[in-house]
Amino acid sequence: MSALEPTIQTAEKRAGWAWRPFALTLPALVLLAAVIGYPLLTIVLRSLSEPEWGVQNYAWFFGAPVNLAVLQRTFTISAWVALVCVVCAYPYAYLMTAVGPRVRLVLVLCVLIPFWVSGVVRTLSWVILLQDSGVINSLLRSAGFAGIRLIRTQTGVVIGMAQVLLPFMILPLYSVMKGIDLRLVQAARSLGARPSRAFFTVYLPLSLPGVYAGAIIVFILALGFYITPALLGGPRSTMLSTLVQTQVLSLLQWGRGGAMGVVLLVTTFLLLALAAPVMRSRHREAGRR
Amino acid sequence: MLKSKLAGLGAVLALGMLTTTAFAQEKPVAGEVKEGSLKGKTLTFVSYGGIYQDGQVAALKEFVEKSGVKLLNDGPTEIAKLQAQVESGNVTWDVVDTGDLPPYVHCGKLFQKLDLSKLDVSKIPEGQVGECSVPAMNYGVVLMYNKEKYKDNPPKNWADFFDTEKFPGVRALDGSGDPTGGLLEQAFKVAGGDPKAMTAADIDKALDVIRKLGPDTIYWKTGAESQQLAESGEADMLMMWTGRAMTAVKNGAKYAPAWQDWLVVMDQMTIPVGVKDTDAAYALLNAYLGKQAQEILTQQTSYTPINNDAKPKVDESVAAFLTNTPERQKQGYKQNIKFWVENFPVAQEKWSALMAGN
């Protein structure tokens, strides 16, 4: 930390130059306003103005049990996906920091290569693996076990989505873990901490910002998933995006589709706002230690 | 004497030919294209891509070469996109291939009412010309069953499909989007109702019959998925599009069709409201309806042609799933289009609730 302080001070001294970074972000801000801000505004407006001005679309959304059930399911599935990603990505990202450059390159490639393959292709491969007559079930049966239903279940959807989203968890985790000074763990060990204690009180708290960052990215991306739940899931794992698609593309109810999008967005913000204090306090605590 | 007689005959013949041409100018003949008539013009044709649109483009090749038009392709067809074009007054899609119902649901609003004096619809199978559409091709939704599972006692119709006691096994239904009216009518019949007298409230009764199929029921999202379900043997009885059923059987799936009450469905050809050159769009449609164009379409896509004179050269496996033979025509079941158009939003809403697990 102390190495950073002089820079901060000089920046503060030259307060007149402070607007410069903002000026540099102007192109990005304009782009964001054009490709996110404007369409978003249109969606909000249409949700309130079609077919006539009022909140009828929102009344419809909250009046139909199927919408609420699917909204809740969308959040549940996304939370599971984030959890599975954390569990799978954490040891992997740690391994990436622990090995030499050559093995690390292999590990990075293992993460990135599936990332470059289209999500549809990966999802279809999961169909082949998970289906009742698929690879996993035939292996189970030939080993004398009963087959298990994986495809068209929420489990199947979570597995498929977690695999597609795993890179978004591993990369932020790795970038945080890379910055953790392993001498801190050594110091803890030299002061008599058992390995597990050193991990839980020193390493884990320092890596939490990466866990939070990755989990939030995965969770938010998962909320909008369409193809994977459609192909791997059944009716009981339909997510909100599918319902939006029906309203917009099939019924031409753009107002309703817009209202569903707005509800999802607002609910997501609310959840993140609730989670933020928890994350911040842990973070500070970790910094203090 | 002889000479003058011949000359007279020639004159009569010439006159005859002249009148025929004059007649042709007034009354279009399906498949006929006037040389160079659309030189310098551009038409955008929209369909669903894949081998289907490739086949349609191949069917239109002669039209493009003769008329001199520049044909652009776009897709897939999305009614929401078309609506945006019509609303903004900037329609760039000139001829649009759609599903069964949209031309009826949005007739006059998104799709032009067709002027039948500009088209030759005389060779189109009976009852398929709508106020805003002509058919693009015919196909069917057919019950396919696993031959090895049901052996000597195969299901014969949709009543058997919905009877899980007499015919245990996993069912697979079309969950790709819109509800299939014909299937709901068949389900309503199983519930003891008369499809001819169906009301909006009866849709629930039909849906309950489908719900009773149980939690193992598969709703396939794409035609490819339905084919995969048959080829891997995941489902014992499926409702399938004939094109996909044909390909699955060709690929070795041990499944057979039960043709009784196969559901008649088709794609439609439409001209959107507000296109820049309506006459050029009509010319394309008229060429598309021609005998030769339809033969090419069937040979390339295995869909059934919509020109009664068309005699496509196809192999046995394709011929087995063509739906225009007299026998198939007798077995086919036509949905009550008027009912489904009027109740489209209700049916869609209820269907998507079923699709979302409720």
Q: How many CB atoms lie within 10 A of CB B65?
A: 11
Neighbours of B108 (CB within 10 A): 10
C-alpha span between A66 and A69 (Å, rounded): 5
Cβ–Cβ < 8 Å for A245, B176: no
Query: What are the chain A neighbours of B348 within 8 Å (beta carbons)?
Result: 246, 250-251
Report how far residue A106's alpha carbon sits from residue A111's, in angstroms, rounded to the nearest whole number.
9
What's the confidence (pLDDT) of residue B22? 45
- Rounded Cα distance between A166 and A59, Å, is 37
Residue A215 backbone zone (phi > 0: left; psi -120 to 50: alpha; other: beta): alpha
Under DSSP, the state recorded for A16 is G
Q: CB–CB of B118/B354 below 8 Å?
A: no
Which DSSP state fits B268? E
CB within 8 Å: A235 and B228: no
- Alpha-carbon span B100 to B136, nearest angstrom: 10
> What CA–CA distance (Å, rounded) separates B286 from A136?
53
Rounded distance between C-alpha atoms, residue B130 and residue B341, angstroms: 12
To the nearest whole Å, the CA of A87 is away from the closest chain B CA by: 29
The pair of structure tokens assigned to B10 is 């020639």
Check residue B116 and report its DSSP letter. G
DSSP run (H or E) holding A161: helix A154-178
Q: Which among B178, B345, B357 has CB closest to A235?
A: B357
Domain residue ranges in chain A: 74-234
Say what the pLDDT of residue B14 is. Answer: 52
The answer for A 147-206 residues in CB contact with B (under 8 A) is 152
**Residue in A closest to B354 by C-alpha:** A235
* A236 contacts: CB under 8 Å, gap ≥ 6: A153, A154, B215, B357
**Bridge partners of residue B263, in order along the sequence:** B141, B333
Q: Do A69 and B357 touch (CB under 8 A)?
A: yes
Angle of helix A56-63 versus helix A38-49 axis, rounded to 10 = 80
Report the pLDDT value the prediction gives residue B178, as an integer from 0 to 100.
87
Tokens read off for A71? 């909204």
Q: State whether residue B75 is helix, strand or coil.
A: coil
Q: What fold is seen in the domain A74-234?
A: MetI-like fold (1.10.3720)
B183 burial level (CB within 10 Å; 0-12, 13-18, 19+): buried
Whether B356 and chain A come into contact, CB under 8 Å, resolves to yes
Q: Does A74 reach chain B within 8 Å, measured CB to CB? A: no
**Contact across the interface for B352 and A70, Cβ inside 8 Å:** no
Task: Assess whether pLDDT exceeds 50 at residue A1.
Answer: no
In this predicted model, what pLDDT tens digit does every residue of A117-149 receive, in sequence order?
887 888 889 999 998 889 999 999 999 998 888
Q: Do A250 and B178 touch (CB under 8 A)?
A: yes
Residues 6+ apart with CB under 8 A from B348: A246, A250, A251, B178, B179
What gap in Å lies between CA B188 and CA B159, rounded to an integer?
A: 10
- Partner residue facing B357 (CB), from A127, A131, A236: A236
Q: Enter the CATH code of domain B36-138+267-317.
A: 3.40.190.10
CB-based contacts of A213: which residues, under 8 Å, 6+ apart? A172, A173, A176
Tokens 């890379």 sit at which residue?
Answer: A178
On whether any CB of chain B is under 8 Å from the CB of A254, the answer is yes
CB distance from A270 to chain B under 8 Å?
no
Report, at the CATH architecture level, how domain B139-265+325-355 is classified. 3-Layer(aba) Sandwich (3.40)
Give the phi and the psi of residue B218 in degrees, each rounded to 5: -105, 130
Both tokens assigned to B11: 């004159």
Q: Does B221 touch chain A (CB under 8 A)?
A: yes
Cα–Cα distance for residue pair A105/A246, rounded to 1 Å? 43
ipTM above 0.85, yes or no: no
Q: pLDDT tens track of chain B, all 358 residues?
A: 455 555 555 555 555 554 444 444 568 999 999 999 999 999 999 999 888 999 999 999 999 999 999 999 998 999 999 999 999 999 999 999 999 999 999 999 999 999 999 999 999 998 899 999 999 999 999 999 999 999 999 999 999 999 999 999 999 999 988 899 999 999 999 999 999 999 999 999 999 999 999 888 999 988 888 999 999 999 999 999 999 999 999 999 999 999 999 999 999 999 999 999 999 999 999 999 999 999 999 999 999 999 999 999 999 999 999 999 999 999 999 999 999 999 999 999 999 899 888 7
B115: helix, strand or coil? coil
Give residue for tokens 């597990």: A196
What are the pLDDT digits (tens) for A57-88? Answer: 999 999 999 999 999 999 999 999 999 999 99
**A281, A80, A234: which is closest to A161 by C-alpha?**
A80
User: Among all chains, which residue has been given the structure tokens 């499926």?
Assistant: B238
Residue ranges per structural domain of chain B: 36-138+267-317, 139-265+325-355
Question: What pTM did the predictor assign?
Answer: 0.80
Q: Side by side, which strands form the sheet with B255-270?
A: B70-74, B42-46, B95-98, B255-270, B134-146, B237-241, B171-174, B218-220
Q: What distance in Å separates the CA atoms of residue B156 and residue B143, rounded to the nearest whole number? A: 9
Region of poorest pLDDT, from A93-97, A111-115, B69-73: A111-115
User: Closest approach of chain A CAs to the CA of B216, in angstroms?
Assistant: 9
* Cβ <8 Å between B356 and A243: yes
Angle, in degrees to the nearest 10, between helices B344-355 and B202-211: 20
Cα separation, B189 vs B206, in Å, equals 8
Element counts in chain A: helices (H) and strands (E): 15, 0
Interface with A, mutate which of B79, B352, B354, B355 (most A CBs under 10 A): B352
Backbone angles phi, psi at A192, to 5 degrees: 105, 5
Best CA proximity match to A127, nearest among B218, B83, B237: B218
Instruction: Taking the CA atoms of A147, A153, A159 and A163 in sequence, report the sign of the dihedral they define.
Output: positive
Instruction: Indicate yes or no: CB of B225 within 8 angstroms of CB of A231.
Output: yes
8 Å CB contact of A66 and B356: yes
Asked if residue A229 lies in contact with residue A74, where contact means CB atoms within 8 angstroms, the answer is no
